[in-house]
Amino acid sequence: MTLDDLPTPCLVLDLGVLKRNLALMQAAVARFPGLMLRPHMKTAKSVEVARFAAPGFGPITVSTLAEARYFAEAGWRDQIYAVGITPAKLDAVAALNAAGAAVKVITDDVEAARAIAAHPGAIQALVEVDVGEARGGVAPDGGALPEIAAALGPRLAGMLSHSGHSYAGRSPAEMAAIAEAERLAITAAAARLREGGLVVPIVSLGSSPTAMHAARMDGVTEVRAGVYMFGDLFQGQIATHPLDDIAVTVLASVIGRRPDRNTLLLDAGALALSKDRSTQAAPRDWGFGRVVDLAGHPLPGEPMVARAYQEHGEVHAEAPLPFESLPVGARLRVVPNHSCLTAAAHDRYHVVEGGREVIATWDRVNGW
């Protein structure tokens, strides 16, 4: 089977690019002896990808209970479920752990911490610390931190932070500065708890950009990163990976042509691409995705999906499109702005390795 045989729209994963991106991050983490990479599977959501990203059933991060169950059943037991836990979900986590998993949860709420401590199941938790993203987490120097840690008691596994605000950076130097601010904040928080007599085994931080560009990791036990595996047009522009090393694309067919407007219609719209507009804030805006040829090569005029409807993608370009080589039915590929959201629209990967031959089909887990 080749890309010419697949139904469109569908998701294509280039194994060679995936391997390059994994090696790039592994090399970045290896600069710091003793530091562990805990890959975040929230983007890939695939056991087959995990075989490369976390070989030997190494530790992973997940973002849903569906992922936790899927990976635990496949052998990945050491997990952090890195979304604030609710008491109603504790039974599900405890059941996974009773079956042999070691899923840890996170919280930034004292009442949730008390519910974790009171639960009869084997559940450990990390306190989430806000290091500048202003999403979840408690202040590293505030009163809530020791209160939550004390409420967890022997269930305390450590602390966790996420530097999602690194996405506002535009250079390796800016990423390194954000990474250092995160490191200082979370290690100071860990030191506060240790000075109070608590054991803090895990100090977990990260995002793909900061993991790649951090200058120091003193006091940190592990880093978490996920989007680096596939990359996307946004991450490529903030130096997480080379811009050409984006492992996933959406295969689409031409379904309409308007030479008078210099536009094409594709059968990949918002439901196949997502409506994420992350590159709107990047140096180059790629609309709803960059359009390349079937081999993944650029096209004249650097076309992009400028308008996305439910099942239609309207392609615009800066130069005349090659309509003579793009009849209705012709196949193109769309490079995503944000691979996490684009991949979430699909239930499988059609795997290639630098060519058009489909060498495998890999499943992925969706839902919650």
Q: Is the pLDDT of residue 125 over 90?
A: yes
- The confidence score (pLDDT) of residue 1 equals 95
- Weakest mean pLDDT among 160-169, 228-237, 291-300, 304-313: 160-169
Tokens 């090393």 correspond to what residue? 245
- The confidence score (pLDDT) of residue 80 equals 98
- The confidence score (pLDDT) of residue 60 equals 98
Q: Give the number of other Cβ atoms within 10 Å of residue 73's Cβ.
A: 14
Q: Give the number of other Cβ atoms within 10 Å of residue 27's Cβ.
A: 10
pTM comes to: 0.96
* Cis before 283 (ω within 30): no
Distance CA 217, CA 116 (A): 30
Q: Is the pLDDT of residue 120 over 90?
A: yes
Contact 291, 315 (CB under 8 A): yes
Which tokens sit at 73? Answer: 């059943």
Distance CA 279, CA 112 (A): 36
- The confidence score (pLDDT) of residue 360 equals 98
Q: Give the number of other Cβ atoms within 10 Å of residue 261's Cβ.
A: 9
- The confidence score (pLDDT) of residue 134 equals 85
- The confidence score (pLDDT) of residue 289 equals 98
Which tokens sit at 287? Answer: 């609309």
Distance CA 311, CA 193 (A): 52
For all residues of the chain together, what is the average pLDDT? Answer: 97
Which tokens sit at 8? Answer: 């469109």
- The confidence score (pLDDT) of residue 137 equals 97
352 closest CA partner among 114, 5, 90, 24: 5
Tokens 């209705």 correspond to what residue? 328
Query: What percent of the chain clears pLDDT 70, i.e. is strictly above it?
Result: 100
Structure confidence by residue, pLDDT tens digits, 152-207? 999 999 999 998 888 888 899 999 999 999 999 999 999 999 999 999 999 999 99
166, amino acid identity: S
Structure confidence by residue, pLDDT tens digits, 264-302? 999 999 999 999 999 998 999 999 999 999 999 999 999
List CB contacts of 102: < 8 A, sequence separation 6 or more.
77, 78, 79, 124
Contact 192, 143 (CB under 8 A): no
181 closest CA partner among 165, 202, 197: 165
Distance CA 363, CA 368 (A): 16
- The confidence score (pLDDT) of residue 163 equals 86
Q: Is the pLDDT of residue 243 over 90?
A: yes
Q: Residue range 69-90: average pLDDT?
A: 98
13 closest CA partner among 353, 366, 367: 353
Q: Residue range 321-331: average pLDDT?
A: 97
- Using the CB atoms, write b or e for 339-361: b if 16+ within 10 Å: bbbbbbbbeebbbbeeeeebeee
Q: Are strands 304-308 and 313-316 parallel, antiparallel or unpaired?
A: antiparallel
**5 — pLDDT class (breaks 50, 70, 90):** very high
Distance CA 54, CA 50 (A): 5
Q: Is the pLDDT of residue 147 over 90?
A: yes
